[in-house]
Amino acid sequence: MDKKPIFQVSDNDLGMRLDNFILKQRRHITKSVLYKLIRKGQVRVNGKRCKPELKLDVNDTVRVPPFIFFDEKEKVQVPDASRARMTQAIVFEDADYVVLNKPAGIPCHVGTGHDFGVIEIIQSMPEYTETQLAHRLDVHTSGCLLLAKNRQALLAFQAAMKDHQVEKQYLAKLEGKLSSEKTVDLPLNTDNRINGIRTVVPDTHGKSAETTFKPIKFDEHHTWVVCQIKHGRTHQIRAHAASMNMSVVGDTLYGARASKGKRKIYLHAQSLSFGDYDWRCEAGF
């Protein structure tokens, strides 16, 4: 075997942490195994011992044990129909970003019960092999999903998120009647599990979270609301809606009846903006 177990850092990986860089190359390696190897000096950067948080530079060489380098998982076989569907979902593209109107029911990445997600589908296309998720949406949430085509664009978005310069707006269909605008300011425990399933609950010691619900439409049993969020915690809108006893339609995890409509949960990311960018994705409900 002539090839050495060495990864070389490219422009697209500039500034990435060592641990994240290796996990990007070999996603099936667990963090616990990786950190143990780094501590034992079995991972070297430019021939030297290093720490997991080391920031990498272009052309750095990262030597790993052969069992990591040569043990590539079989590539996911993505059907042509899935690629075509994802291509049709693109609503914006430039040199830095791709915005999708993500269909409901498709996860952002591979996970339990799903052989592949948005990122696996996108990266299976030759022109998008280096594209990364800039953020995530729940599997049953549709709408604006941002992907970065290069490392610099990804870092720019992450910096804007950290500085609270990113605005997200959602559309939801709630059970019951909400007669006027309401803001829910309720800390959330996002690490809570019920029967092994992440289920976010209000907790005074949890992470701060605020959601404003603005009613825009009604029928006999439901209210359509525009949701403006602060902080963007896991399941924030769903948990805050449930706290008003007005769960998102179809959201059985948070107390709603099962949906009889075309989709499982009626939640849609309708707009996303930061800097000079302002994207909007139309909902189908």
Q: What is the pLDDT of residues 161-199, one digit of tens each?
A: 989 899 999 999 999 999 999 999 999 999 888 888 889
138 in catalytic set: yes
Domain boundaries, the chain: 6-69, 80-162, 167-280
**CATH 3.30.1130.10 is the classification of domain 80-162:** no
Average pLDDT of the residues in 197-224 = 94
Mean of all residue pLDDT scores within the chain? 92
Write the burial class of residue 14 (CB in 10 Å: 0-12 exposed, 13-18 middle, 19+ buried). Answer: middle
**pLDDT for 28:** 76
**pLDDT for 232:** 86
Whole-model pTM: value is 0.81
**CATH 3.10.290.10 is the classification of domain 6-69:** yes
Q: What is the pLDDT of residues 108-118, one digit of tens each?
A: 987 767 788 99
**pLDDT for 108:** 93
Structure token digits, residue 68: 């990591």
Of 1-15, 17-31, 56-70, 203-217, the one with minimum mean pLDDT is: 1-15
**CATH 3.30.2350.10 is the classification of domain 167-280:** yes
**pLDDT for 4:** 82
Residue 72 has pLDDT above 70, yes or no: no
Q: How confident is residue 1, by pLDDT bands cut at 50, 70 and 90? A: very low
Average pLDDT of the residues in 259-265 = 91
Residue linked to tokens 């849609």? 268
Average pLDDT of the residues in 79-94 = 95
Residue 69 has pLDDT above 90, yes or no: no
Q: What is the pLDDT of residues 125-174, one digit of tens each?
A: 999 988 999 999 999 999 999 999 998 899 999 999 989 899 999 999 99
Residue 257 has pLDDT above 60, yes or no: yes
Q: Which residues pair with 114 in a beta bridge?
A: 111
Examine domains 80-162 and 167-280 and report if their fold is the same.
yes
Q: What is the pLDDT of residues 12-63, one digit of tens each?
A: 788 889 998 998 888 778 889 999 999 999 999 999 999 999 999 989 999 9
Residue 3 has pLDDT above 80, yes or no: no
Q: How confident is residue 73, by pLDDT bands cut at 50, 70 and 90? A: low
pLDDT over 70 for what percent of the chain?
A: 97
Pick the catalytic residue from 11, 138, 163, 203. Answer: 138
Q: How far is CA 55 from CA 13, 14, 29, 51, 135, in A?
A: 10, 8, 20, 9, 21
**pLDDT for 54:** 94
